[in-house]
Structure 1
Amino acid sequence: MSTRRPTEAVRRRPSAAVYRRRRLVAVLIVLAIVIAVVLAIWQPWKGAAGGTGATPAPTGTTASISPTPSATTPAGEATTAPAADPAPSASGTDPAIPACTTSDISVLAVTDKDSYGAGEQPQLSISLSNTSSTPCLINVGTATQAFVITSGTDTWWRSTDCQSESSDQVVQLAAGQTVGSVTPLVWDRTRSSVDTCDSTSRPSAAAGYYHLQVSIGGIVGADTKMFELQ
């Protein structure tokens, strides 16, 4: 005989509609937590006002000069310097900052090696330093760069012979700052000529010693860099 009292309520399982509402509430709670975590990590508003970013380096078809903290010296040591600030536009140039002069700037020719084995192609760069005690403006764009390779009195290669594009990039160099090429310019070990830019049969350089002379912004490097082709 059953002992359940006649007045006792019969327990029933929740209906399907109740289950659906509960699941919907749970999903909404999880979604809100995920959104809050993503926003806390991403924070897209940071940097929109008053934020700082990396200064873009000049670009071009020759060796671009990097206004970045590091540049390679001929001795192969990393030179650290503050980043160069882009100069104001031509319409708003600050007259208080003068153009760099030959006495302000030291320009050096740089190669990645002193000696190259057969088939190795020299990588050519420029390093320039503001040796004055005040900032100055200089155009370091590819339009102002020139690389010349000679062997004795014979000029073997000029970067300007077959340069298809060029650009201007005026930057402000702080006192004592050194900057260098972003991407080295590669010499294919052939003789250049404005008449052979599309030729695939240029004369190849023989083994021996060569000199690299560079100029940038109208300032010629004081010394050449000697290297050997084996």
Structure 2
Amino acid sequence: MPSNGSRRGPDAATFRRRRLAAALIVLVLVVALLGGIIAVVTAVSGSQAPGSAAEESPGGTGAASAPPEATATTGQPSSSSPTASPSASPSASPSATPTCDPSRVTVEAATDKAVYAPGEKPLLTLRVINGNPVPCEVNVGTSQMEFIITSGQDRVFSSKDCQVNPSDNKKRLVAGATDSANFPWNRNRSTPGCATVKTPPRPGYYRLETKLGDRTSGQTLFQLQ
């Protein structure tokens, strides 16, 4: 029956060929897919490889560069520190040790009273003051002292005029110390060379000035009645 033979489906050989072709196509697709996955994984792994090596290997190249740098930085101050210390010490030593300044050793004049009754003898005082923060050696002997009394332009008296056997007396005055010397005045006049002056000072106002070497005090006012 020819009509029935024309309607039969593909034979077994054709069916096997079709299945083989389909399997090949699937195999090609699977291979291509696997190749793409492998390529992506390889690319991702390659990009992470340097970072992973640095993180997983503390002794690697990235971590090993830090210790030498830190060692060099630490070594610089320690090597420069001994050099700076000796150079600073000599320059600071002279200024750190104060010395006695002669200009800060001053002299003052004083009297024991402001007003003296008739016949009363004034007591004159010379004070030397060490205004330094350190001790000073000062000659406070009679060879350096002078008590001078004036009235206006009149030179009335000087302890140097009739001085006998002047002497030196060097003293070490501590910081801020004061040393005093007193001279009782007989209410008499004097002249250089200790010539006799019979006329006594008259009642009135007088000024006392004291000297110690090249140091001169201010003037102190007092009154004779």
Aligned ranges for residues 172-187 of structure 1 at < 5 Å?
A: 172-181=172-181, 184-187=182-185
**1:224 paired to 2:222:** no
Gaps of 5+ in 1: 1-95
In structure 2, the residue matched to 1:152 is: 152
Q: Aligned equivalents of 1:110 and 1:193: distance in 2?
A: 22
Q: Aligned equivalents of 1:100 and 1:219: distance in 2?
A: 13
In structure 2, the residue matched to 1:129 is: 129
* Alpha-carbon displacement from aligned partner over 1:177-225 (angstroms, at most 9, x marks no partner): 11112xx21111121013554x4x521101110000001132111x111
* Alpha-carbon displacement from aligned partner over 1:53-72 (angstroms, at most 9, x marks no partner): xxxxxxxxxxxxxxxxxxxx
Q: Aligned equivalents of 1:98 and 1:202: distance in 2?
A: 50
Which protein shows a greater Rg?
2
Q: Aligned equivalents of 2:98 and 2:169: distance in 1?
A: 16
* Alpha-carbon displacement from aligned partner over 1:142-200 (angstroms, at most 9, x marks no partner): 0000110000111100100010111001111111111112xx21111121013554x4x
Q: Residue type of the partner of 1:229?
A: L
In structure 1, the residue matched to 2:118 is: 118
In structure 1, the residue matched to 2:20 is: none
Give the ranges of 4+ consecutive aligned residues of structure 1 lying more than 6 Å apart after TM superposition: 96-99
Q: Aligned equivalents of 1:154 and 1:170: distance in 2?
A: 33
Query: Whose helix proportion is higher, 1 or 2?
Result: 2
In structure 1, the residue matched to 2:192 is: 194
In structure 1, the residue matched to 2:70 is: none
Q: Residue type of the partner of 2:166?
A: S
Aligned ranges for residues 20-99 of structure 1 at < 5 Å?
A: none
Q: Aligned equivalents of 1:137 and 1:112: distance in 2?
A: 27
Secondary structure at the aligned position of 1:142 is classed as coil
TM-score normalised per structure 1: 0.52
Q: Aligned equivalents of 1:120 and 1:147: distance in 2?
A: 18
Q: Residue type of the partner of 1:158?
A: S
% identical equivalent positions: 36
Query: Bigger relative contact order, structure 1 or 2, given CA contacts below 8 A and separation 6+?
Result: 1
Deviation at 1:118, TM superposition (A): 0.3
Q: Residue type of the partner of 2:216?
A: V
What do you get for the CA RMSD once the two structures are aligned?
A: 2.0
Q: Residue type of the partner of 2:142?
A: T
Contact map agreement 2:117 2:224 (CA 8 A) in 1 = yes
Deviation at 1:128, TM superposition (A): 1.4
Secondary structure at the aligned position of 2:143 is classed as helix
Match of 1:212 among 205, 208, 222: 208
Secondary structure at the aligned position of 1:143 is classed as coil
Deviation at 1:106, TM superposition (A): 2.2
Query: Against the structure 1 CA distance between its residues 189 and 106, is the aligned structure 2 distance closer, same or farther, given a 3 Å change threshold?
Result: same
Alignment: residue pair count: 129
Gaps of 5+ in 2: 1-96
Deviation at 1:99, TM superposition (A): 6.3
Deviation at 1:127, TM superposition (A): 1.0
Q: Aligned equivalents of 2:161 and 2:198: distance in 1?
A: 13
